[in-house]
Amino acid sequence: MNQTANETMNLLFEKIFPFKAFKFQKKESFIAFFTENMTFLYQIKYDQFFYLSFIEFIESQLEIVSGAVIVKNQLPFLCHLFRNDDSSFKISIFDVFHNETLFEEKTQIPEDSLNADLDSFNDEYEIKIIITFSKNVLPQDVSGIFGIIYELSEAFSIINVTVSERPFDFGDYPSLKLVQIEDSLMLLEV
């Protein structure tokens, strides 16, 4: 990798950026990236190998729900939530460059959950993976939104798992997002 491309990759990966991947009406699969970097489309050209591997890996999964790219020691890792063949949910951290799964855990999300979403945050020493999910079967009948927080060490081993025991009250389109403002994490109910 030449110096220009290496500098560009470091510039791109200075922040975590989330993505959402989904199949719509059993047709083609889509992926959406949300970033603060207006030159995102330009910069992925310089990291062609990573993004090709990244997109092909996601596409190979049965159903990716959501994920984020985490930068650790200037290397990108893919953190994502996906559904297994048996309808259970798993979270995974995958090293795209070395083609290696560093962490994988079957979550406590009930199999009949219709919606689940993943957010991740990291600082120098710890990663938090936050999964929110609904226990409702019908979208119009929301029985509750719950959350699970996984705290992982720098070596991607579990430090702590916190499970929300209280359902939240929502309207027709519930969603929970975790927003990081400076050093505080705020759980946003929508």
Counting residues that bind another protein (by CB under 8 A) gives 49
Q: Does 61 bind another protein (CB under 8 A)?
A: no
Asked whether 130 and 117 are in contact (CB, 8 A), the reply is: no
Q: Integer distance in angstroms from the first to the last C-alpha of the chain?
A: 43
Of the pair 29, 88, the CB lying nearest another protein is at: 29
Which letter, b or e, does each residue of 32-57 get, where b requires 16 or more Cβ atoms within 10 Å of its Cβ?
A: eeebeeeeeeebbebbeebbebbeee
Among 80, 167, 89, which Cα is nearest to 129's?
A: 80
Binding mask 16-55 for another protein (x = CB under 8 A): --x-xxx-xx-xxxxxxxxxxxxxxxx-xx--x--xx--x
Of 91-99, 104-112, 145-153, 178-186, which part binds another protein (CB under 8 A)?
178-186
Distance of CA 172 to the CA centre of its chain: 24
**Is residue 141 at the binding interface for another protein, with CB under 8 A as the rule?**
no
Least distance to another protein from the beta carbon of 175, Å?
5
According to CB under 8 A, which residues from 90 to 129 bind another protein? 117, 119
Which SS3 state, helix, strand or coil, does residue 55 take? helix
Q: What is the rounded distance in angstroms from the CA atom of residue 63 to the CA atom of residue 90?
A: 11
Find the binder of another protein among 1, 10, 11, 160 (CB under 8 A). 11
Question: By the 8 A CB rule, do 80 and 118 touch?
Answer: yes
Interaction between residue 59 and another protein (CB under 8 A): yes
The residues binding another protein (CB under 8 A) are 4, 7-8, 11, 15, 18, 20-22, 24-25, 27-42, 44-45, 48, 51-52, 55-56, 58-59, 117, 119, 173, 175, 177-182, 186, 188, 190
